[in-house]
Amino acid sequence: MFCARLFRNFAPNEQKKKGNNMKLFDVYPLFDVNIVRGKGCRVWDDKGQEYLDLYGGHAVISIGHSHPHYIEKVTEQLGKIAFYSNSVVNKLQVELAERLGKASGYEDYQLFLINSGAEANENALKLASFKTGNVRVLSCEGAFHGRTSLAVEVTHNRKIVAPINDNHHVRFLPLNDLEPWVRELSRGGIAAVILECIQGVGGIQMATPEFAQKLAYACKRYHVPLIADEIQCGYGRSGKFFAHQHLGIKPDIITMAKGIANGFPMGAVMISPDFEPVYGQLGTTFGGNHLACAAALATLDVMEDEGLVENARVIGDYLMEGIRNIGSSHIKEVRGRGLMIGIELDMPHKMVRKPLIRHEHCFTGAAGENILRLLPPLCLTKADADDFIERLIRVQPEDSD
């Protein structure tokens, strides 16, 4: 009786205090904009203000916001079944594997479906370690591969690596400098090499064909799986289905997410036929569920029907040339492939990015201290590109004498 009175007197009173509502864990520095709807390459806030979207929510929106075919197919699937476990046949997974193999040119590879890019890299690294029996990984300086256990350990940012993740498995080496990679591979004990062919968070730094081809050759020589992280640079964004296809290499494992389902959470690992699957080796609860597969299939439909991979190439070239032609002394370099573009500035990016959002109502991303990062939907048009260039011109600080 005493214990019951004690609980009644204290616990409910604490919970009923005014203002004691749960709050979000405050890890995101937010712009004070509440986006409530989107269409194509435009989004609108709760006040009705329209914004030009040159960021696509971190390269996630591939076919444009609220595409009617996407809405139709996802809604249709939701009316049937949204989820059942991976203990039963899901023919949507089979269809997606077949379609993705044809679209990417990797019909002989195998597909494992999960929920995010970090999970894709976790599973890729796990597979490589299973195959080689090794634990050491070679990764790039400036790399970003995710925020979870193995993925964050191979990410070159000490600020987000917790002590529990810091297991000394990784050696970070310079992009496009082959000699240290070959030296480390020759020492043995390497589980995997992981590479972003275009670094996103790293500032749109691109691997050269010569480096990538010689690295791939060295991996084959020393029997080390090469993992291509295509989570941001892949799925048509570079003007080819995968960014590594610009470089003339064929990785052993390819990871993807972001644009695969146009905003529905999904990730995937494409795996060489040299890897033999084993029951229970990998697993996921939500990965490859019916609704996610429907979203991914609808995304592929639109990409193919509207030629969005080629559009990314054409409009990307057009946009980069237009930005270069602005002639601003504050723009040091424009680099990228397709619709993955970095604008390197001679000042902090916030001096351009903030007025773009606040005054020109245009979303862009950023990398490092001085790089604007453009990752628009792949349906961007020349008119959209011209619109962005005009807005960018208006926020350029005046050249000093």
pLDDT for res 299: 98
pLDDT for res 301: 98
Regions of the chain short of the pLDDT cut 50: 1-12, 14-15, 401
The dihedrals phi and psi of 90, each to the nearest 5 degrees, come to -130, 100
Alpha carbon of residue 302 to chain centroid? 19
In the predicted model, what is the mean pLDDT of the chain? 95
Euclidean distance between CA atoms 152 and 377, whole angstroms: 27
pLDDT for res 400: 58
Q: Tell me the one-letter amino acid at 279.
A: Y
pLDDT for res 20: 86
Give one DSSP letter per residue of 322-388, joined into a string. HHHTT--TTEEEEEEETTEEEEEESS-THHHHHHHHHTS-EE-EEETTTEEEE---TT--HHHHHHH
Q: Residue 5's CB: how many other CB atoms inside 10 A? A: 9
pLDDT for res 17: 52
Give the predicted TM-score (pTM) of the model: 0.94
310-367 pLDDT, tens digit per residue, is 999 999 999 999 999 999 999 999 999 999 999 999 999 999 999 999 999 999 999 9
- The two tokens of residue 23 are 């709050």
Question: Which residues, including other chains, have CB under 8 Å from residue 9's CB and lie 6 or more apart?
Answer: none
pLDDT for res 6: 38
Q: Write the Ramachandran bin of 125: left for phi over 0, alpha for psi from -120 to 50, otherwise beta.
A: alpha
| Whole-Å CA distances, 283 to 54, 232, 280, 293, 398 | 35, 23, 6, 17, 55
